[in-house]
Structure 1
Amino acid sequence: MESTNAKIQPDSGRQGTIFCFDCSEYMFEVNEDDKEKRTHMLIALKAMRSEMNHKCLSADLREMVSIIFFNTAKTNIDAEALDNIFVYRNMVEYDENKFMKGLGADTVKQVDELIKDEKKRKEFFEVTLGGSGQCDYSQLVWLFQRNFQYEQVFT
């Protein structure tokens, strides 16, 4: 029996982008096809930085952005107890007044530091992320989906 009262629910109008970085060892090798002889990871970070800068300049406050590193040796609480996944920035973050924060200059500046300072970049990947590991890709895909569904409840 079908319901005649079915209604289409509109979405919130928000858009989301998840930047994902594979931290396997090959990502830290120099890309031989690159004229500047940069690592694959540095090229990927620069591409993300460019896109984040574009999103900030467009000032679309509905845009949500998440940054996830996978195939890491360490994990963090934001990765929802999934091994070898590190969530650097959640899709939705809140300020001290519990207002949703959009992507801002602070996040872009943090990425700039990783790009410009090889020592900081190396420390971030070796110490914070613990180097390379191997994640379960089905869990990674689940986390992507969860990023778009999760709504934080304040107590």
Structure 2
Amino acid sequence: MKCPYCSSENTRVIDSRPADDNNSIRRRRLCDDCGKRFTTYEKVETIPLIIIKKDNNREQYNRTKIEKGVLLACHKRPISAEQISKLVDDVEIEIFNREEKEIPSALIGEILMDKLKDLDPVAYVRFASVYREFKDVNTFMNELKKMLG
């Protein structure tokens, strides 16, 4: 592993333990050249997942896109980075457990909205308004009524 400080490849693992999600390993490393410590995470590589978009185009799964959407929905809400990360992890686990090579983006959106609804109603409505492309106030109100009733 290359040191992020001095780029030396002379590093060693000084501590290993399961990460918070128990799906990866956290390793503390020490650079023998500069003496600095850094952390790496090791995760099992999964089968590439292809996402079928609304326009039927296909692209490789990208966790960052889900994180970006959730971060926007949760902006200025009392939701910690840890809660957001866990939510994205939960969505990821659910879609990868389906063991399908291709999955529609609509399904990912629905799974994400279900999880957001439990986490924070305001974040849910924000995400749903963009995801479902609310065209007017009535559509927005109908979604709010479904959520409240």
TM over 0.5: no
Answer with 1 or 2: which has the greater Rg: 2
Tell me the TM-score normalised to structure 1 length.
0.21
Name the structure where strand makes up a greater proportion of residues.
2
